């Protein structure tokens, strides 16, 4: 199996998964460390939501939903059943949880105490979801992709990944978002 990023349909995505998992782990540590009865570390949670929204969901999931999954469909996999359907469903669940976190952060900042425990719950649910989601993607779907996507199709996919990596996400480059993750990890 090819392993370097420019000759594998999944190496770059697996690498991005590791960064997403690191930030999810930092978020779970923040939730565990600050006092359960008090407000969560709002600034850190907010930086995590920005990372999950722009890096995980926009930069990373775009590569999967618009590039890798269609390439797998072209190899005969179904989009509305099986592993791709499960991954798409979980992406939607993750989006809903991050949206909830963003809304709850606004409420916590406005001093609404009841929103604090909901923010903790939504954050913990997101960490659990993204962790099991990535395990399934790495262990099942990407293993299948590595078997069936090769040659020119693989080259075209990697070139398309690189193009997406040159985009800006709400004004941020991919490197800005990697640096944002670095800052979260340093603080945690
Ligand atoms: Fe992924």
CA of 155 to the centre of ligand 1 (A): 19
**Ligand 1 center to residue 16 CA distance, Å?**
8
The per-residue pLDDT for 5 is 72
175 CA to middle of ligand 1, Å? 18
Cβ(84)–Cβ(78) below 8 Å: yes
Q: Give CA–CA dist 124/161, Å, rounded.
A: 30
Q: Determine the distance separating the centroid of ligand 1 and the alpha carbon of 14, expressed in angstroms.
A: 7
Q: What's the topology of domain 5-187?
A: 1.20.120
Taking the centre of ligand 1 as the mean of its atom positions, its distance from the CA of residue 69, in whole angstroms, is 11
Compute the distance from residue 57 Cα to the ligand 1 centre, in Å.
Answer: 9
Query: What is the Å distance from ligand 1's center to 111 Cα?
Result: 35
Residues of the chain with pLDDT under 50: 1-2
Distance CA 8, CA 41 (A): 39
CA of 113 to the centre of ligand 1 (A): 34
Backbone φ, ψ for residue 173 (5° rounding): -80, 165
Report the sign of the C-alpha dihedral through residues 160, 70, 59, 141, in that order.
negative
pLDDT tens digits for range 77-126: 999 999 999 999 999 999 999 999 999 999 999 999 999 899 999 999 99
Neighbours of ion ligand 1 (CB under 5 A): 137
pLDDT of residue 32: 77
Sign of CA dihedral 75, 76, 81, 82: negative
CA of 137 to the centre of ligand 1 (A): 6
Distance CA 139, CA 112 (A): 41
Give the per-residue pLDDT at 1: 39
Domain boundaries, the chain: 5-187
Distance 64 CA to ligand 1 centre (A): 7
């Amino acid at each position: 199996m090819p392993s370097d990023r420019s000759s594998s349909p999944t190496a770059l995505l697996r690498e991005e998964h590791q960064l997403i998992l690191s930030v999810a782990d930092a978020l779970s540590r923040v939730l565990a460390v600050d006092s359960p009865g008090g407000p969560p570390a709002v600034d850190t949670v907010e930086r995590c939501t920005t990372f999950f929204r722009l890096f995980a969901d926009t930069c990373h999931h775009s590569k999967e939903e618009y590039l890798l999954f269609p390439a797998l469909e072209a190899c005969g996999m179904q989009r509305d059943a099986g592993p791709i359907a499960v991954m798409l469903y979980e992406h939607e669940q993750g989006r809903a949880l991050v949206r909830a976190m963003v809304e709850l952060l606004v409420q916590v900042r406005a001093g609404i105490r009841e929103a604090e425990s909901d923010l903790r719950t939504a954050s913990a649910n997101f960490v659990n979801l993204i962790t099991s989601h990535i395990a399934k993607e790495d262990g099942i779907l990407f293993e299948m992709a590595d078997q069936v996507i090769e040659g020119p199709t693989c080259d075209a996919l990697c070139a398309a990944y690189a193009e997406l990596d040159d985009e800006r996400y709400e004004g941020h480059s991919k490197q800005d978002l990697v640096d944002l993750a670095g800052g979260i990890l340093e603080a945690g």
